[in-house]
Amino acid sequence: MTKPNPDSNTIGIHKLYAEDPISADKTIWGRVTNPLTRRGFLKNSGLMAMTTALGSNIPFANNMPAGLIPAAFAQTDDAFNIYGKKGLKILNDRPLNAETPAHLLDDRVTPSSKLFIRNNGIPPSIPEVTSQDWVLKVEGESCETPKQFTISDLKKRFKPHTLQLQIECGGNGRSEFYPPAKGNQWSTGAVGCPEWTGVRIKDILEDVGIQKDAVYVAYEGKDRHLSGDQNKRPISRGVPLWKAMEEESLIVWGMNGDDLPLIHGAPLRMVCPGWPASVSGKWLSKILIRDQVHDGAKMTGQSYRVPCEPVSPGSKVADEDMCIIESMPVKSLITFPKSGIDHGLNESLKIRGHAWAGDLSVKKVFLSIDFGSTWHETLLEDPVNRFAWQHWTQDVTFPSEGYYEVWARAEDEQGVSQPVVLPQWNPRGYLNNSCHRIAVQVKA
């Protein structure tokens, strides 16, 4: 099989299956087949993921050959999408990382099928995450009474909250930095704003008791290190106590009215919105109340850190001069139309998208159709709740035939705006919030 053109946006499930159908079964669904017959779903591995995505049972599941893409997903014009497959651009399949093209982020509430995937390690298996024995332990130096909770304990003992909260990978936009930064080469699609259901981290912390010396709240999850080393964690990050205590910082079991999908952290994950999504730990098994800034995997060194003071592009920066990223910067996306369309002269084009600003709200969003020479304020909605992205729209007519770019630029409540060129270069390529641009060809 040939490898698809690297420029193509349409790789995904087909590419994974083309390279190695057996491992694609495992990567996408967690599916392992009977080694003798090469059929079925060994110990029901992956069956639930596949049926959930299909939205129906597979009556002859035991006969289903290994390495077969379910026909429903092979149809490009099918009515539904599945997470991490159709439409999403797969950047890396081990660990699985996939982003969503801007025009597929048009929904006001991001469906799980269109939420980016950022894994640092190997997710736990379906049997592990569906087990009734899953517990969340709460401990750490500054925890008064270490406790553990089953998921039904959490549901019974604490008040549930449902909120629409945006999460964005700290490295979203990395691909534009020069000199290039190592890591997944995200363009614009590592962001989303689903509706989450769970309990406040605050309520759990108050239940176990927070000692006076507490400064940080960290997570551990059940994903495994890529090397297979049991003593290594792929990632274990956290947030300062004040961020964990915010009313919108949650431990969730639900997404958009359903249980969390495996790939997004089932059965439990943290959501600390507005910060790099790596603080919103998946497959959550432990919360640590720390008396120091957490020092878990990808908290230290250069990970999720930027130079404390600005540096020239390409600089080497010592670890002690790197500061942990907290709130993400103001940003916006044009989600309609899709870049690259033809549009009729004299016809109005309703352009729309979303904007968000980390811990802050967005005050204004502007559009330019003349490469930033003039800017026009769009109609901007308030967020449905704090930390939800805000929708904006604007009717545009183009003055002549020709090639246009539509640029969007948001401004936060403190008057801080997105740059038109790239923001401050940093060694790992985080926080690129330069304005989003789409191309439109206007024809008579």
Partner 1 sequence: MSRLLSLILICFTINDTRANEDPQTGLIMDAGWELVRANCGGCHSYDIITSQKSDRQGWEEMIRWMQSSQNLWQFDPKTEETILDYLTKSYPPSESRRRAPITKTLMPLN
Listed ranges 3-11, 76-84, 124-132, 195-203: which one lies at the site for partner 1 (CB under 8 A): 3-11
Least distance to partner 1, CB of residue 421, Å: 5
Least distance to partner 1, CB of residue 148, Å: 30
Contacts of 254 (CB under 8 A, 6+ apart): 162, 196, 197, 198, 260
Chain positions 232 to 261 lying near partner 1, rule: CB under 8 A, are 232
Q: Does residue 344 bind partner 1 (CB under 8 A)?
A: no
Listed ranges 4-12, 272-280, 322-330, 346-354: which one lies at the site for partner 1 (CB under 8 A): 4-12
* Closer Cβ to partner 1, 7 or 320, answer by number: 7
Tokens of 252: 């969730």
When binding is defined by CB under 8 A, the residue of 113, 187, 249, 361 that contacts partner 1 is 187
When binding is defined by CB under 8 A, the residue of 38, 157, 182, 350 that contacts partner 1 is 182
Q: Smallest Cα–Cα separation from 109: which of 219, 216, 249, 257?
A: 257
Contacts of 119 (CB under 8 A, 6+ apart): 95, 96, 97, 223, 234, 263, 282
Q: Does residue 315 bind partner 1 (CB under 8 A)?
A: no
Chain positions 128 to 147 lying near partner 1, rule: CB under 8 A, are none
Contact, 355 vs 407, CB < 8 A?
no
Q: Does residue 227 bind partner 1 (CB under 8 A)?
A: yes
Q: Does residue 339 bind partner 1 (CB under 8 A)?
A: yes
Q: Does residue 51 bind partner 1 (CB under 8 A)?
A: no
Write the binding mask 383 to 422 for partner 1: x where contact by CB under 8 A, - elsewhere.
--------------------x-x---------------xx
Chain positions 256 to 295 lying near partner 1, rule: CB under 8 A, are none
Residue 213: Cβ-neighbour burial (10 angstroms; 0-12, 13-18, 19+): exposed
Q: What is the DSSP letter of 319?
A: G
Least distance to partner 1, CB of residue 43, Å: 25
Q: How far is CA 370 from the centre of its chain?
A: 32
Q: Smallest Cα–Cα separation from 116: which of 92, 150, 151, 140?
A: 92
Torsion angles phi and psi, residue 437, rounded to 5: -130, 135
* # binding residues, partner 1 (CB under 8 A): 44
122-140 as b/e: b if 16+ CB within 10 A: bbbbbebbeeeebbbbbbb
